[in-house]
Chain A
Amino acid sequence: MASNVSRRDFLKGGGLAGITIAGVASLGVGSVLGTEEACAATATMTEFVYTCPVCGQHTSDYDALVKHFDGTHPGAAVPQAVALTINGTTFMAQVEPQWTLRETLLYAVGLTGNAKQMCDRGACGSCSVLIDGVPALSCSVLAVECEGRQIETSEGIAADPAYRPLFESYVKHDASQCGYCTPGHLTVAKYILTKYGDPSADQIRAELAGNICRCGTYSRHVAAIQEAAASLKGGN
């Protein structure tokens, strides 16, 4: 591991190794967040280590993992190696077939914004991410089905300077109270801004209909998104 990895990244990495991905994943997390130190660390990324989820044995390539399953754990479903493109960066992740995208974002990639567990049944919209530019519920998509698709989370939108006005108007209008649903709202807000440009209040309400906010901040989302649309249009 590179020497300039921060303590926080190191701790995250340690946790990841125990779950499925060794070492390299923590470097990937940093690069999604766009920090300079993590970008430097990404350059040192060389190999991907597969970890058997049943007994914890490490293997260096996927074929060896499959062989290990055939020999040691016959009958168990073999994890799949999936290349996930998240916020423009492609990650290798070792994913079990039953993992949802939400679980994968949280446990294997370390993105905590949209991936918090809320209802986990597709009823609240807090886990909304953009898949190929369209909002989808990460709790109701299997990660193995996301290979080759562009996944965008609130972290990616936050790191994009073009969408700074959206976040600023959310802060200005105090459009998040407890903040649990906010990442889901923000990803759908980006979709609304790209789809309509200058959305009306009714369009915003219709598109946000699937995002539940228990604090009841609904009217402020409309105001915040409309103000963001105005300043995005003004080239701010």
Chain B
Amino acid sequence: MRNFSHVDAASAKEASSNASKSSALFIAGGTDLLGTLKDEILPSYPEKVINLKTIGGMDGIRDEGGAVLIGALAKISALAESDLAIAHATALAQACEKVASPTIRNMATIGGNICQMHRCWYFRVPDNRFACRRKGGNYCPARIGDNRYHSIYGEQDGCYAASSHDTAPALIALGATISTTKRKLAAEDFFVINGIRSNALEADEVVTEISVPKAAKSAFQKFALRKSIDFPLVNCAAARLGDDSVCIALGGVYPSPVRIQAAEAAVAGGITEASAQSAADAAVAECRPLPKSGYKVEIARALVKRTLMELK
């Protein structure tokens, strides 16, 4: 890695104001950030890395009436084992259990997981060799290159990457709200393409807390090539919300995780084997896979059905 200066932050506000003064990146668990800095995949290298781990009181998981409040610094492993999350945000706890490896789960934080950058191999190629759409270029190398792990729902702002967070579809399905130092965002609005970022955050904005409304029942399914340490090819989360409606979200199929309203409509009258199947078919009806990513359509179809059957 090239040189940078390292600053410990005492509070999220301080970290944010410190970041607005010079080019800076935030480090929490570091499992994503250090890889990007070692490979120098970004168009610019930060002068400063601001350590968020020194901020006190931001790693709790607590019960707040109708919602589970999760501090951004809560470890993925803590969430996977939290009784509160397992009981009321089952999909999120299950998703956390499937993130990477046990060792990485001990280090990585939920805030970092939702802020990780895309795993597209053209975006991630060392030394920033492709000026792709995410880096201010005018084309997507995956469009004509090897796109076996890319989008099946077409492009977003010219980019065909696939979202790689395991927790994102769970947060969307559960209707979570993400608080930052500047605002509150619904999970659905949080995950959008934004330059090199996979979320709507500004350069000096820090995620502080995630509020997940309690759901009676929710489930998560992941399909990856390897059982341990692998990013999802496709993952799916579904939740039965308070008003008995069902919310379904897919990850790994589009640059941002997507909520599938067509599938939700298909199971509005109750979940049966047949309605789950028609929801799965509806979910992939609009797919426009790339030449090599067509197989992911069938994976998405199967995962939507499996996840819904768990909610039965």
Contact = CB atoms under 8 A, between A and B. Distances in A.
Contacts of B106: 134-136
Contacts of B2: 98
B35 A121 contact: yes
Contacts of B229: 123, 209-210, 212
Contacts, number: 85
Interface in A53-100: 76-78, 80, 96-100
Nearest to A122: B31
B6 A80 contact: yes
Interface string B28-63: 011100110110000000000101010000000000
B23 interface: no
Nearest to B230: A123
Interface in B195-221: none
Contacts of A145: 6, 27, 30, 51, 53
A137 interface: yes
A141 B107 contact: yes
Contacts of B31: 122, 137, 140
Contacts of B228: 209-210
B102 A140 contact: no
**Chain A: number of interface residues, binned into ranges:** 20 to 34
Interface residues of B, number: 27
Q: Which of B27, B103, B107 has the most CB of A within 10 A?
A: B103
Contact of A120 (B5, B30, B38, B100): B38
Contacts of B25: none
A77 B3 contact: yes
B34 A144 contact: no
Contacts of A210: 100-104, 228-229
B1 interface: yes
Interface of B: 1-6, 27, 29-31, 34-35, 37-38, 49, 51, 53, 100-104, 106-107, 227-229
14 contacts: A76-B3, A77-B3, A77-B6, A97-B3, A98-B37, A123-B229, A125-B103, A136-B103, A140-B29, A140-B31, A142-B30, A145-B6, A209-B228, A211-B101
Given A99-B1, A142-B6, A145-B53, 15 more contacts: A76-B3, A77-B5, A97-B49, A134-B106, A136-B106, A137-B103, A140-B34, A140-B35, A142-B27, A142-B49, A142-B51, A206-B102, A209-B102, A210-B228, A211-B103
